[in-house]
Amino acid sequence: MAMGSASCISLVVLVALATAATGQLSSTFYDTSCPRALATIKSGVAAAVSSDPRMGASLLRLHFHDCFVQGCDASVLLSGMEQNAGPNVGSLRGFGVIDSIKTQLESICKQTVSCADILTVAARDSVVALGGPSWTVPLGRRDSTTASAALANSDLPGPGSSRSQLEAAFLKKNLNTVDMVALSGAHTIGKAQCSNFRTRIYGGATNINTAFATSLKANCPQSGGNGNLANLDTTTPNTFDNAYYTNLLSQKGLLHSDQVLFNNDTTDNTVRNFASNAAAFSSAFTTAMIKMGNIAPLTGTQGQIRLSCSKVNS
């Protein structure tokens, strides 16, 4: 049955209203309200990563630490609070990059693009800038007016986590075991502080390559040097690839929480698969990133669009 143009238009309006009411995210959210939003974020990330390749990993981690606490609502960007939690204090980076992108966006589209969306898109653009896969990011998140250090301390898995603790932390966010192993592959870029792997190299761990452990001791003494850094992936530290998994096969995972994924356990086969098949890893990683970006977003009239990412609107 042919429909008249008027009923076609009303149907489009109804669909748009239904989408807004149910709070669905949409990849075309800013197409009309801020058409240059995605390009602005991409160029800001590209510039930051080209001057400091580690920034790509830092922005990716910022998004992960945001989504795991209250959902992807930019709560991690609010000054104090979550930023002071154990997993975050002294190690989160990239706030200046997000602030700079936000300032540019405010100058072209006033109070339109949320900090939560900037962070989500910046995570994707960071992966792409370092040679990794791309994916379409659903948009329309709004920003929280609260943040919680207590939730950050309870919900973010730490470097000493066991395989079952990691599984539980991810399952709590509706991410399955394959998602967890794939998202751990974000450690194919970035660095970790000595305090996060000291126990692994001095504590008599049997699942670490001896020469690898020895090489790490040079820059991570038994006491002091807590902030000294080591590459999470020694093979290609500034390229987003599947080398992280190949390293695990030869017991060269930097953190305890990395190596537990390949340690005569239930996740061994997934690690083997990702190590031998880069396309399988890319596919699982992009699927998991979209799922993670969809954790409890604020939409519609919830929350606000912060004018400055570090503070709630007055």
pLDDT digits 0-9 by tens, 105-154: 999 999 999 999 999 999 999 999 999 999 999 999 999 999 999 999 99
Residues 136 and 203 in one domain: no
Give the residue, 181 or 2, on which the prediction is more confident: 181
Contact 67, 110 (CB under 8 A): no
* Per-residue pLDDT tens digits for 57-85: 999 999 999 999 999 999 999 999 999 99
Question: Is residue 75 part of an annotated ligand binding site?
Answer: yes
pLDDT over threshold 70, residue 183: yes
Residues 171 and 286 in one domain: yes
Which pLDDT value is given to residue 9? 56
Question: Is residue 73 part of an annotated ligand binding site?
Answer: yes
- Residue 301 is assigned to a structural domain of this protein: no
Count of structural domains within the chain: 2
DSSP states along 277-306:
-HHHHHHHHHHHHHHHHTSS-B-TTSSB--
Q: Which domain holds residue 45?
A: 36-156
| Mean pLDDT confidence for 163-169 | 98
Q: Given CA atoms 168, 170, 176, 177 in this order, what sign does their dihedral have?
A: negative
Chain mean pLDDT for the chain: 94
* Per-residue pLDDT tens digits for 206-255: 999 999 999 999 999 999 999 999 999 999 999 999 999 999 999 999 99
Residues 109 and 207 in one domain: no
Q: Amino acid letter at 243?
A: A
Burial class (CB in 10 A: 0-12, 13-18, 19+), 12: exposed
pLDDT over threshold 50, residue 19: no
Q: How far is CA 242 from the centre of its chain?
A: 17
Question: Is residue 266 part of an annotated ligand binding site?
Answer: no
Q: What are phi and psi of 193, to 5 degrees?
A: -80, 145
Smallest Cα–Cα separation from 71: which of 167, 215, 166, 174?
174
Question: Is residue 187 part of an annotated ligand binding site?
Answer: yes
pLDDT over threshold 60, residue 25: yes
User: In the chain, what percentage of residues exceed pLDDT 70?
Assistant: 93
Question: Is residue 63 part of an annotated ligand binding site?
Answer: no
Residues 138 and 232 in one domain: no
Smallest Cα–Cα separation from 159: which of 259, 63, 255?
255
Residues 50 and 117 in one domain: yes
- Residue 76 is assigned to a structural domain of this protein: yes
Residues 94 and 212 in one domain: no
- Residue 229 is assigned to a structural domain of this protein: yes
Residues 42 and 125 in one domain: yes
CA 47 to CA 279: how far, in whole Å? 27
- Residue 123 is assigned to a structural domain of this protein: yes
Q: Which of 54, 61, 63, 65 is catalytic?
A: 65
pLDDT over threshold 70, residue 17: no
Q: Amino acid letter at 253?
A: G
Which pLDDT value is given to residue 135? 98
In CATH, what number is assigned to the domain containing residue 246?
1.10.420.10
- Residue 104 is assigned to a structural domain of this protein: yes
Burial class (CB in 10 A: 0-12, 13-18, 19+), 182: buried
Which pLDDT value is given to residue 123? 98
pLDDT over threshold 50, residue 20: no
User: In the chain, what percentage of residues exceed pLDDT 90?
Assistant: 92
Q: 1 falls in which pLDDT band (50, 70, 90)? A: very low
Which pLDDT value is given to residue 284? 98
pLDDT over threshold 90, residue 27: yes
Q: Establish whether 63 is a catalytic residue.
A: no
Residues 151 and 198 in one domain: no
Question: Is residue 52 part of an annotated ligand binding site?
Answer: no
- Residue 79 is assigned to a structural domain of this protein: yes
Q: Which residues contact 69 (CB under 8 A, 6 or more apart)?
A: 75, 76, 82, 147, 148, 151, 152, 155, 156
Which pLDDT value is given to residue 22? 45
Which pLDDT value is given to residue 5? 53
| Mean pLDDT confidence for 94-109 | 98
- Residue 41 is assigned to a structural domain of this protein: yes
Q: Structure pTM?
A: 0.93
Q: 8 falls in which pLDDT band (50, 70, 90)? A: low
